[in-house]
Chain A
Amino acid sequence: MHHLFHLWVYLETSPLLGLTATLAVYTVAVGLARRLRFHPLANPVLVAIALLALLLAAGRVPYSVYFQGAQYVHFLLGPATVALAVPMYANLRRIHAAARAILPAILAGSLASAMSAILIARLLGAPRLVVLSLAPKSVTTPIAMGIAEQIGGQPSLAAVFVLLTGLLASILALPLLRRVGVRDWRALGLAAGTAGHGLATAQLLLQSETAGAFGGLAIGLNGVITALIVPPLAAWLSPF
């Protein structure tokens, strides 16, 4: 017993636990998704998060202890954002050809996401902190956390909203847009990237390289646009 206690003390102070658990559980979740033929509800990210949350609760491991190890995975979001330049460059000619459609589409989608999130949350009586953390939720995690902090929201809450938004968008993107007659992979990818950042883009990338490239472009451009429009929008729409 004494021995086990020492082992636990070691694991609690070492990054090994959080890092190994994250990779192992995600691998299991990907295997499960493959077995269920990539059904949207078997989304490996969603499954992995649910399993890890349950494991932490069962073992009474605080999130800060888990994050000591998981931070190494989290850190890679930065280089991965930079890496989006590669699929963008591969499709530069096609992106250039459609530039006049891309900018208005992302700008309109970005405004629609942020304004509707703020207004719906306000209308239903959410507190200021929640409303301000919802405003940047359609961009990729590091950007959203930065914006939330800047406008007086809570970065960790924003990270959760970003994730839930990405999951919703990866489930809804194809059925919803096909129902209203959007079939162009460029438009599908752009919508997924604008409304659901990397998570929804990764889901479409499994089916179309074109969607992946336009999604990557949308993640980057929407990140820039949202960083510019959300602070004034939040000041205007949430004056309480």
Chain B
Amino acid sequence: MLQGLTMLLICQFAGEILARGLFLPVPGPVLGMLLLLTGLAIRGRQGKTAPGVKQAAEGLLSHLGLLFVPAGVGVITEIDVLAGNWIAVAAALLGSTIAGLLVTGVVMQRLAKPEM
């Protein structure tokens, strides 16, 4: 568990350094995710697994919702802006979420071959 958590942090750390050092427009944690994926694939080819990383990742991901709470409570600092523009904000959020869901889902279902 501790090993796994350390590995996740090292990947994020490396991702942040790469992103900032090379002025990439991609956020550090996303690069970190790609680094970890590469690492897991290399280990996999050698027939090795990473049980610690798996355990730490599953632990974090099973409470993913919790991690959004602190930023969400920040809604109280933006009440004035939201109250002043609530119709535009509500319509934009609802419309764009529906558009995003429909377009992605329909394109994927049309293009993906059924699995055997």
Contact = CB atoms under 8 A, between A and B. Distances in A.
Contacts of A160: 71-72, 74-75, 78, 82
B1 interface: no
Contacts of B56: 83
Given A88-B37, A120-B91, A163 B30 contact: no
Given A49-B69, A78-B28, A160-B72, A86 B102 contact: no
Interface in A172-192: 172-173, 176-177, 180-184, 186-188, 190-192
A105 B111 contact: yes
**What class of interface size applies to chain B in its complex with A?**
35 or more
Given A81-B33, A109-B107, A227-B25, A63 B68 contact: no
B21 interface: no
Contacts of B69: 22, 25-26, 45, 48-49, 52, 70, 73
Contacts of B94: 168
Chain A, interface SS category: helix
A116 B115 CA distance: 32
Given A74-B67, A76-B67, A134 B93 contact: yes
A187 B112 contact: yes
B81 A74 contact: no
Nearest to B77: A63
Most A-side CB within 10 Å, residue of B33, B57, B64: B64
Given A44-B65, A126-B92, A227-B27, A49 B104 contact: no
A80 B101 contact: no
B18 interface: no
Nearest to B111: A101
A18 B33 CA distance: 29
A113 B96 contact: yes
A82 B11 contact: yes
Interface residues of A, number: 113
Contacts, number: 327
Interface string A177-213: 1001111101110111011101101100100000000
Nearest to B105: A191
A192 B51 CA distance: 28
B112 A195 contact: no
Interchain residue pairs A-B with the least CB separation, the first 6: A109-B104, A195-B100, A101-B111, A113-B100, A70-B70, A191-B105
29 contacts: A45-B66, A48-B66, A70-B73, A71-B70, A74-B70, A76-B67, A77-B29, A79-B60, A80-B60, A80-B64, A82-B12, A82-B15, A83-B56, A83-B57, A86-B54, A105-B103, A116-B92, A116-B99, A124-B87, A130-B88, A137-B96, A141-B68, A156-B74, A157-B78, A172-B98, A191-B101, A198-B67, A202-B64, A227-B30
